[in-house]
Amino acid sequence: MRAIPTFPRYRLAKPPVAKRWLGVIAALVLLSGLIAAMVRQSADANASIILISMVGMVLLGGIFWFVRTIFFRLSVHHSHTWDREAENVRRHWWEIHRRQFALKDIVLIGPAGAELYDWLRVIKREHQAPSFRQESMGKSLRIARSFSSDPIEREKQLAQMLVLQWKRQRGKEFLVSPEKYFWLGSPEAWQAFVAQLIESFPGITPPELPELWQGEKTLSLLANVLADNKQQANFLIAGCQSLSPTSDSTRPAGECAVLWLAGSQGDVTLSRGEFFDPSDSESLQHVALRAEKQSELHESPERCILFSHPEQPQLAACGWNVTHNIQDDYWGDPGKLDALVVISLAAITAKSETKPCGWIASDPFHTLALGIVKPHGNR
């Protein structure tokens, strides 16, 4: 969880106590009068010396009282200024922390399907879970349109399918060449993706090497750059992966492909989310509440899309519904595409149901990342 800026309390000066100061001044006046009287007896001085010394002591005490009062008032003023500036810093931090970006296009390909209606049925649990395949090293969930047994070749086919599915979903809608590309997958799959992209969308100019998808860190970058409604930039985020079965895996090896076209305007919006690392100072429930505050919600989202995380027992106490939308049966093990898959499904849910939808996923640099996708109009 990102730390909110904190500041030490301003050390306010103690207020001057009137009774104490009056008592001190009175004592000093009497003392000065006694000293002046003693001097008068020894030097036969004028009685006015006693009066002058007593009045002088009153004036001197009044000056000290005035200075002490001014010092206290300045301390109060500086304390208010300190608190106001600290609050401005925190408010500015939240403004940045709440920045959001939109998803214009979402393409999702997995063992359970590739079309929007497939994922709507998966979300509503009306879709039958795909059957796993028994391979030499273990179980797997495969996409029927990919026929090779080599993982790299399957990923290349997935990358091509991803572009073709995107083109089919967009139809004849004009596409402005994205300014940045983020990729999660093998270099070979990226080359296949680029080749198919150039063929399917003439005029598009993808780079030779993309930026790497880095989970919550990339979400933060997207939110910072695309939050401005005047920013017309489009960013393309895509990835594909085909896992090989392993004997010690608790889930079938999966394969999937995801593509987003992100910008400042779209059907759904999402923020950078929050991240969680187990510690004694914070709980997952605290982080979930922060995610709600980040999305300016006053209650938990009704749905939360996620894969199971048996190694995180505190997940059940986070305050979100983490039992009704677990995706293991439909995807198996999605590998590093965990977050892209659940955010995509959360976005489809938010758009379909016009309600905020939560997501929880693994993260490359943290134990978990979580956030909320909101339908357009709730931004």
Provide the token pair at 50: 């006693």
pLDDT along the chain (379 residues), means of 10: 67 62 60 58 53 61 70 77 81 88 95 94 90 83 79 94 95 87 97 96 92 95 84 90 86 95 92 90 90 93 95 90 94 95 97 96 95 78
DSSP letters for 291-315: HHHHTT-SS--SEEEE---TT-GGG
Same domain, 51 and 119: no
Kindly give the interhelix angle for 18-43 and 48-97, rounded to the nearest 10 degrees: 150
308 domain-assigned: yes
User: Cα Rg for the chain, rounded, in angstroms?
Assistant: 34
Residue 372, phi-psi category: left (phi > 0), alpha (psi -120 to 50), beta (remainder): beta
Same domain, 31 and 79: yes
173 domain-assigned: yes
Same domain, 175 and 86: no
Instruction: Compute, in degrees rounded to 10, the torsion defined by CA atoms 41, 46, 47, 51.
Output: -120
Q: What is d(CA 238, CA 109) in angstroms, rounded to the nearest whole number?
A: 11
Among 105, 134, 121, 152, which Cα is nearest to 263's? Answer: 105
10 domain-assigned: no
Same domain, 136 and 253: yes
Q: Assess contact for 317 and 284: CB atoms under 8 A.
A: yes
DSSP letters for 261-281: EEESSSSEEEE--EEE---SS
Task: Choose the final residue of a domain: 64, 96, 128.
Answer: 96
Provide the token pair at 161: 């399918």
Q: 163 vs 10, 184, 215, 225, CA distance in Å?
A: 58, 15, 22, 25
Is 0.85 topped by the overall pTM?
Answer: no
Same domain, 290 and 350: yes
Same domain, 28 and 144: no
Q: Assess contact for 57 and 29: CB atoms under 8 A.
A: yes
Q: Assess contact for 346 and 357: CB atoms under 8 A.
A: yes
Q: What is d(CA 236, CA 180) in angstroms, rounded to the nearest whole number?
A: 6
For residue 178, give the DSSP letter.
P
Place of tokens 């909320």: 372
Same domain, 314 and 257: yes
Sign of CA dihedral 317, 320, 324, 330: negative
115 domain-assigned: yes
Task: Choose the final residue of a domain: 75, 96, 117.
Answer: 96
Q: What is d(CA 27, CA 287) in angstroms, rounded to the nearest whole number?
A: 60
Task: Choose the final residue of a domain: 54, 78, 96.
Answer: 96
Could you tell me the residue range of the domain that residue 48 belongs to?
18-96
142 domain-assigned: yes
Same domain, 84 and 165: no
Same domain, 206 and 343: yes
- Give the per-residue pLDDT at 116: 94
345 domain-assigned: yes
Same domain, 318 and 343: yes
Same domain, 216 and 77: no
Same domain, 182 and 330: yes
3 domain-assigned: no
- Give the per-residue pLDDT at 172: 83
In degrees, rounded to 5, the angle at the alpha carbon of residue 341 between the alpha carbons of residues 335 and 344 is 165
1 domain-assigned: no
- Give the per-residue pLDDT at 43: 47
Domain count, the chain: 2
Give me the residues paired with residue 105 across strands: 261
Q: What is d(CA 187, CA 194) in angstroms, rounded to the nearest whole number?
A: 11
Q: Which CATH number is 365's domain given?
A: 3.40.47.10
- Give the per-residue pLDDT at 349: 96
Among 150, 152, 168, which Cα is nearest to 109's? Answer: 168
